[in-house]
Structure 1
């Protein structure tokens, strides 16, 4: 079992099984890790790997689009419902999502050889790193301590995620 450590304690990372579905936070953290891996793969590609770069960026954009949608449609409203203490954090996350969505739309309409393509991928990666740091370091630990049913929410999020078409086609 992998653990994610915060300043206060280690949080076991739940692994989804038929008897134990992943909870909402574990699901989001798995998404974070997957996208981080995709960004690292992108960084490892050479300047001439245009087809691979475009495929990887399309996958990154698909994953981020689905992730932001389930957060905005299900996770954030559920978190808002448990207390006003989360308002500012959720508002900031939504603004960060809007900024990421702009870059995602631009990247989906570009070719890997276009001017600023690599720069936009780098900026998107940096924005996502910052967003993930705040969620995993501040928001998720507080939500874990709440009364929110994270397993039921995780099920809803997984169902919704399966319904979202890939924006890149």
Structure 2
């Protein structure tokens, strides 16, 4: 572990598992039927599962495959947030939070790049991945506990549909899930029924 990693590791999330669960329940109650917030929450759960899969994998090949799936999902998800949701936060006088969100995700991307250089069967690899996991869990808690519920409350119905469409477009631009028509279909549906959607998003499985 580098000195930077050791320093960062000391700044552990103050929130408990119960705090995270409570924040998620509140966010889930606020989410519309497959709107941008619902999609974000679903992707957060999938990211958490990817971390668990990587940490529980028993051999180098399985760990590398699990980390590849994690990297695709995490990068596509963060790119969509950075292109769509954080600018929307800034539009509502949350420039400070938006800047913090960008910085946290940039750090996670750099740490994921460092992870690729490590022996997947080494102690250093596991420590690095656990460090990234802790940082991502804290970031998710910030989004679900405060940032995104406030954005949801402040955003008008027509803009909710636009955020959903744009989030899906930006995620697909990187993740290439093969669902290119979904954003346009959802946008049309949500324009007619701003508080509802009809698409169930799914993450790439390979």
TM-score, structure 1 as length reference: 0.80
Where does residue 117 of structure 1 map in the other structure? 125
Change (3 A) 1:13 1:146: closer
Q: CA deviation at 1:5?
A: 2.1
Mark the runs of 5 or more structure 2 residues left unpaired by the alignment: 1-22, 177-206
* 2:42 paired with 1:30: yes
2:73 aligned counterpart, secondary structure: helix
Where does residue 18 of structure 1 map in the other structure? none
Aligned length: 152
1:14-163 pair list within 5 angstroms:
14-15=32-33, 22-46=34-58, 49-81=59-91, 83-84=92-93, 86-114=94-122, 116-148=124-156, 149-163=159-173
Could you tell me how far apart the structure 2 residues matched to 1:132 and 1:33 are? 10
Could you tell me how far apart the structure 2 residues matched to 1:58 and 1:10 are? 28
Is the Cα–Cα contact under 8 Å of residues 4 and 12 in structure 1 kept in the other structure? no
Q: CA deviation at 1:136?
A: 0.1
1:113 aligned counterpart, secondary structure: coil
Is the Cα–Cα contact under 8 Å of residues 86 and 98 in structure 2 kept in the other structure? yes
Change (3 A) 1:10 1:60: closer
Structure number having the greater helix percentage: 2
Mark the runs of 5 or more structure 1 residues left unpaired by the alignment: 16-21
Could you tell me how far apart the structure 2 residues matched to 1:93 and 1:99 are? 10
Q: CA deviation at 1:111?
A: 4.1
**RMSD between aligned residues:** 2.2
